[in-house]
Structure 1
């Protein structure tokens, strides 16, 4: 079960976030300020952090900056009332992975949490084996019976995602959000081009093929 830390000084909002996360099968911990959050992190393994910005003591931007300076790469979703472009720029420059402006749609928050955790899982595992095909994340290298290829980053991430969950259908929007990020607008034609390139690269691969599910998206299946 993924463990999520909610850093929010508004007790009602913190309680809402935590209860929503727990109803959706996450373990949630609430912290009223950054020091409280750090105390929890000393005792618990945290997979993702949801943080406010304006809090007593250290603010959320400085909190994220401290984490990144300490080489702590836990995904961070900022949720704050500070919504102008300069605030967002400050948040992303500090090292935040995503940013939402209050008031938020709680269901959208869950979608973003899910996307961040999927992305973090893919990055942390580093290596994937599928039959006689192996994927090395650090070098974007795919090796099979036909040899080794170094793929462009997005193509590699896309293939890695599909092969991590063989048989699972991913909608086009899920893939775009996970690989390109919610904040980046990418035309869906870009996804089609990447899928076509992967199919061409691995047309002689004997382990998998990428299947189009009409009206839904894509999945990888064993040959």
Structure 2
């Protein structure tokens, strides 16, 4: 696995880097929350090992930030705080598992393998195309962090377009998905909904995301 360790303790950080590397994993060690967050946001990792207490922030703030940004990388939190409330707080912040210091290294390896297996095939709760983010769990859509108000039909329409981002979606496909209807005679309904959705998604932005492909349908893409 490609692992990111965010740990400020030089002794533990070095031991984790060496141990994980010797176990056959690629390990990148960062000593601050800021540098770790930057790496987690710009690179793809199979899992993060994250200390709760960091010199510039907390591990809980780091995991909340990456979850807010739609990053679903599994997170194993390390802490000397072992109360039930502390463990619950860590899990509620978005972590996948929690390991109390001091710990046995084989247990850390086993927990990393477990969270990696659990999350590998888990469907993402967010769809993201450029600056557009659709949160399936909370039924929320944002563009450049500004929340957009969509009707249920517009939400479903946008979800379908985002799942086929970069591909032309025909009017027939949209009708069958949204209304389980034959597309003949209802193309105007599709156009009305697309125009309303386009007005909410693209209004006020220089880059239009929903584009019409003449004679074929629509495509959601960034330039």
User: How high is the TM-score relative to the length of structure 2?
Assistant: 0.53
TM-superposed CA distance for 1:122, in Å, is 2.6
Report the Cα distance in structure 2 between the residues aligned to 1:37 and 1:55, rounded to whole angstroms: 10
Alpha-carbon distance change, 7 to 119 in structure 1, aligned in 2, over 3 angstroms: same
Alpha-carbon distance change, 72 to 42 in structure 1, aligned in 2, over 3 angstroms: closer
- Gaps in structure 1 of 5+ consecutive residues: 126-223
Report the Cα distance in structure 1 between the residues aligned to 2:123 and 2:116, rounded to whole angstroms: 10
TM-superposed CA distance for 1:91, in Å, is 0.3
Paired residues of 2:40 and 2:66 also in contact (CA < 8 A)? no
Matches within 5 A, 1:32-51: 32-51=31-50
Q: Size of the alignment, in residue pairs?
A: 125
In structure 2, the residue corresponding to 1:71 is in which secondary structure? coil
Report the Cα distance in structure 1 between the residues aligned to 2:23 and 2:50, rounded to whole angstroms: 19
Report the Cα distance in structure 2 between the residues aligned to 1:64 and 1:70, rounded to whole angstroms: 10
Matches within 5 A, 1:1-223: 2-123=1-122
Paired residues of 2:6 and 2:30 also in contact (CA < 8 A)? yes
Report the Cα distance in structure 1 between the residues aligned to 2:38 and 2:97, rounded to whole angstroms: 23
Report the Cα distance in structure 1 between the residues aligned to 2:68 and 2:120, rounded to whole angstroms: 21
Report the Cα distance in structure 2 between the residues aligned to 1:73 and 1:58, rounded to whole angstroms: 20
In structure 1, the residue corresponding to 2:102 is in which secondary structure? coil
TM-superposed CA distance for 1:105, in Å, is 0.7
Report the Cα distance in structure 2 between the residues aligned to 1:41 and 1:122, rounded to whole angstroms: 20
Report the Cα distance in structure 2 between the residues aligned to 1:41 and 1:75, rounded to whole angstroms: 11
Paired residues of 2:41 and 2:71 also in contact (CA < 8 A)? no
RMSD across aligned positions (CA): 1.8
Paired residues of 2:41 and 2:66 also in contact (CA < 8 A)? no
Report the Cα distance in structure 1 between the residues aligned to 2:82 and 2:120, rounded to whole angstroms: 29
- Gaps in structure 2 of 5+ consecutive residues: 125-223
User: How high is the TM-score relative to the length of structure 1?
Assistant: 0.53
Report the Cα distance in structure 2 between the residues aligned to 1:23 and 1:75, rounded to whole angstroms: 21
Alpha-carbon distance change, 97 to 29 in structure 1, aligned in 2, over 3 angstroms: same
- Give the number of the structure whose alpha-carbon radius of gyration is greater: 2
TM-superposed CA distance for 1:42, in Å, is 4.8
TM-superposed CA distance for 1:120, in Å, is 2.2
Report the Cα distance in structure 2 between the residues aligned to 1:25 and 1:124, rounded to whole angstroms: 27
TM-superposed CA distance for 1:117, in Å, is 1.3
Report the Cα distance in structure 2 between the residues aligned to 1:67 and 1:42, rounded to whole angstroms: 7
TM-superposed CA distance for 1:123, in Å, is 2.3
